[in-house]
Structure 1
Amino acid sequence: MLTAGDEYPIHQTPEPIAYSGSDRNFYDRYFYNGYSADGSVFFAAAMGVYPHLNVIDASFSVLRNGKQSSLYFSRPLNMERMDTFVGGFSVEVVEPLKRIRLQVKETEGIAFDAEFTGRSFPIEEPRFTRRQGPRMLMDLTRMTQNGRWSGTLKIDGEEIQLDPASWTGTRDRSWGVRPIGAPDAQPLIPPLDPQFYWIWTPTNFPNLSLYFHVNDDAKGDAWNKRSVLVMDGAKQGERLHLDEAQMKVTYAPGTRRMAKATLNVKDGQGNPHAVHFEPIGTFLMKGIGYGHAKFRHGMSHGDQLVVEREDMDPNAAWNIPENLHIQEIVRARHEGPGGLASEGIGVFEQLFMGPHGPSGFKSILDGAA
């Protein structure tokens, strides 16, 4: 089947763009977040294309005044990957790798129309490849970019202007293989208890962006990690790799939620730097489909467009599996040699499931001592 994408020089296999190899879990995804300078208003959005499930879905969620409000959209893909819209939700590439327009036409009291402009060229994170026994769990590439927002957010009669002087955030694009849609009915042999330890902290400072992420195994050994600094206006490859990056997390007693954290790194000259993170608000990632009981990414909802709003308490119990994956909105303070210091804002994304030796976690959901 030929589609609009076949008009562009973007083929990755000998087949038409409608097909993406043979793995049913192949996906292609947009993610966005944005926040006011004081962190009092936060939003996130996502759109996923699942070629072999023939589904496209999207979501938009706003956190403010202690309440999180989400919209979920889903429809058949009809094998056309270039139609980046679901109901009133759409993504438009205005300038590749630089400017994106995100729109949500007014739907159940929520509307959004804004442009994201990258502060520098996106970074490419190391390829994520992880197996569970013989089965591929993840095999994907992701690019990440901090930027500024300009536009309008409307929710339940209130209109909020997004001024690029004060509204920042992060977007990413990822594609490859990860668990999507209905889970595999065939169990692993032998069965394995779930384990995933993930931290991702894109942070906006006044004239630069800090990126750090880590995936640890049960022993605490990192199987994917990187930390870089990128100055505003930097071109591809113009980034400073930070060495010996270690994130020390202090958990709220009896939970797996971060109470505070410090990233220790060294620059190219061996000078030590520390970045301290303090949470100021919790955003549930199920609000944009991650682990959601009904609107999990890639789930089929029939042969017609489905749209639904859901309001949720962001401070709901942490130890419910669908509440494990969160983004904490964080204040960040950088302290460097010679009294160097600066203040920033960003997110501390966490998904802590199963054992993790350095944290003292021994089972799937035990809390910190």
Structure 2
Amino acid sequence: MLSRADDYPIHQTPEPIAVSGTDRNFYDRYFFSAGSPDGSAVVGAALGVYPHLNIIDCAVSVLHGGQQHSLFASRILHGERMDLRVGPVTLEVLEPLQRLALTIAPNDSGISGEMLFTGRAAPILEPRFIRRIGTRTLMDVTRMTQGGQWSGQISAAGVTHDLAGWRGTRDRSWGVRPIGAPDAQSPQPATPPQFFWLWTPTAFDDWHLFFHSNDDEHGRPWNRAGVLVRLKDGAQFPLEDPRMALAFRPGSRHAGAARLEARLPDGRPVTVDFRIGENFMMRGIGYGHPVRGHGMFQGPDAAAHEVIDLAGVDPANPTNAHVQGLCEAQLSIGGAAPVAGRGLFEQLAIGPHAPSGFRELFDLAG
């Protein structure tokens, strides 16, 4: 089918833009985070387009005062991949790779506002994520990540937050990963679930840090990389041999502290010490949500509001496994005095991970 996007010179194949290969799990997603300078509040947002499911959905979630308020919206895409409006939310790319705007019109959830993201430096391109179960492709994803600053305002639960001075991160990813309803027929022979993920986008006054790791059950990384971006000139410094040591909170799979060690290309050591506080629950923006997960059909045009009380979150419940810990960080380069920053410490651990002491599907730290 033809769509308005076909009038732009952006085709990659002989197919119309509405067609993205043959895999029903193809997706195209935006993610945003915004954190207050004092660490007392954070906003997360995700908007996804699923061409072969013909669905677009989004979620915006505000964590403040021990509660996380989320707005969910979903609608039929009608093949128009460049129409980034869903429910009360509109996403606009004002300047590609630099400025984007997220507008949430007043609605029954009480979440509304106008948020403007401006990159502090150009995005980085992460290594391509490819993971298979036997011969079936689980993930084949490209992702770019960018540190930025925010302006505008957002309101939730009767509180309006001025975003001046807020920093954060956004990413853009596209490709193939599990979306929508689960596959009715799993690959054979059956493979026990295993997925270990860390991601630590962290903002400093003069630097932005990116580190991620996907590990197998033995702790061997199948996709790991780290980059320091120097903000005064946008220079990107790949981190060599990056390694993360984690200290888990008892009775959970969530770290309360961590240390990253690596080297710059010139050999200077880099260390980052993370102190992790409250957890932003990723199900609040659809990740792993049992009902409003990414790509799930909610109806032709649906919206919902949910509240998570952090004091009542059970870390043993698998729906609470995926979190972004609000963290303070200390960065030291070449043995120099550390500088302070803030960011997110994203974690998802399913199944065994030997370095962490996990042996079963969802056993917890002692």
- Scaled by the length of structure 1, the TM-score of the pair is 0.97
Q: 1:313 aligns with which of 309, 323, 339?
A: 309
Deviations 1:7-37 (A, max 9, x none): 1121122100011010000000000010101
Equivalences for residues 162-201 of structure 1 within 5 A: 162-163=163-164, 166-201=165-200
Partner of 1:344: 341
Partner of 1:153: 154
Partner of 2:112: 111
The answer to whether the Cα contact below 8 Å between 2:69 and 2:157 also exists between their aligned partners in 1 is no
The answer to whether the Cα contact below 8 Å between 2:269 and 2:335 also exists between their aligned partners in 1 is no
Partner of 2:126: 125
Distance (Å, rounded) in 1 between the aligned partners of 2:250 and 2:309: 21
Partner of 1:55: 55
How many angstroms does 1:295 deviate by? 0.3
Partner of 2:216: 217
Partner of 2:36: 36
Partner of 1:134: 135
How many angstroms does 1:334 deviate by? 1.1
The answer to whether the Cα contact below 8 Å between 2:74 and 2:302 also exists between their aligned partners in 1 is yes
The answer to whether the Cα contact below 8 Å between 1:39 and 1:281 also exists between their aligned partners in 2 is no
- Cα distance change of structure 1 residues 143 and 234 upon mapping to structure 2, 3 Å threshold: farther
The answer to whether the Cα contact below 8 Å between 2:111 and 2:157 also exists between their aligned partners in 1 is yes
Deviations 1:149-171 (A, max 9, x none): 000111233221111xx200000
Aligned positions, number:
364
Deviations 1:37-76 (A, max 9, x none): 1110101001000000000000000000000100000000
The answer to whether the Cα contact below 8 Å between 1:195 and 1:218 also exists between their aligned partners in 2 is yes
Runs of 4+ in 1 over 2 A off after TM superposition: 335-340
Q: What amino acid is the match of 1:289?
A: G
Distance (Å, rounded) in 1 between the aligned partners of 2:135 and 2:21: 19
Question: Any idea what SS the aligned residue of 2:5 has?
Answer: helix
Question: Any idea what SS the aligned residue of 1:334 has?
Answer: strand
The answer to whether the Cα contact below 8 Å between 2:256 and 2:277 also exists between their aligned partners in 1 is no
Give RMSD over aligned pairs: 1.1
Partner of 1:11: 11
Distance (Å, rounded) in 2 between the aligned partners of 1:335 and 1:232: 16
How many angstroms does 1:321 deviate by? 1.5
How many angstroms does 1:271 deviate by? 2.0
Distance (Å, rounded) in 2 between the aligned partners of 1:314 and 1:194: 27
Distance (Å, rounded) in 1 between the aligned partners of 2:95 and 2:55: 26
Partner of 2:250: 253
Distance (Å, rounded) in 2 between the aligned partners of 1:133 and 1:84: 35
Deviations 1:232-269 (A, max 9, x none): 1545xx31111110000010123211010000011222
Partner of 2:268: 271
Distance (Å, rounded) in 1 between the aligned partners of 2:343 and 2:204: 9
Distance (Å, rounded) in 1 between the aligned partners of 2:363 and 2:75: 38
Question: Any idea what SS the aligned residue of 1:339 has?
Answer: coil
Deviations 1:85-105 (A, max 9, x none): 101101100100000001111
Partner of 2:364: 367
**Are 1:143 and 2:144 matched, yes or no?**
yes
Distance (Å, rounded) in 2 between the aligned partners of 1:337 and 1:17: 48
Partner of 1:65: 65
Distance (Å, rounded) in 1 between the aligned partners of 2:53 and 2:82: 16
How many angstroms does 1:338 deviate by? 4.3
The answer to whether the Cα contact below 8 Å between 2:324 and 2:344 also exists between their aligned partners in 1 is yes
The answer to whether the Cα contact below 8 Å between 1:121 and 1:233 also exists between their aligned partners in 2 is no
Give percent identity, aligned residues only: 49
User: Which sits farther off after the overlay, 53-62 or 9-18?
Assistant: 9-18
Any stretches of 5+ residues in structure 1 without a counterpart?
A: none
Deviations 1:162-208 (A, max 9, x none): 11xx2000000000000000000012211111100000001000011
**Are 1:334 and 2:331 matched, yes or no?**
yes
Question: Any idea what SS the aligned residue of 1:109 has?
Answer: coil
Question: Any idea what SS the aligned residue of 1:106 has?
Answer: coil
Distance (Å, rounded) in 2 between the aligned partners of 1:175 and 1:361: 30
**Are 1:78 and 2:73 matched, yes or no?**
no
The answer to whether the Cα contact below 8 Å between 1:325 and 1:350 also exists between their aligned partners in 2 is yes
Question: Any idea what SS the aligned residue of 2:283 has?
Answer: helix
Distance (Å, rounded) in 2 between the aligned partners of 1:86 and 1:2: 21
Question: Any idea what SS the aligned residue of 2:105 has?
Answer: strand
Distance (Å, rounded) in 1 between the aligned partners of 2:96 and 2:317: 39
Partner of 1:204: 203
How many angstroms does 1:314 deviate by? 2.8
Partner of 2:231: 232
Distance (Å, rounded) in 2 between the aligned partners of 1:154 and 1:252: 32
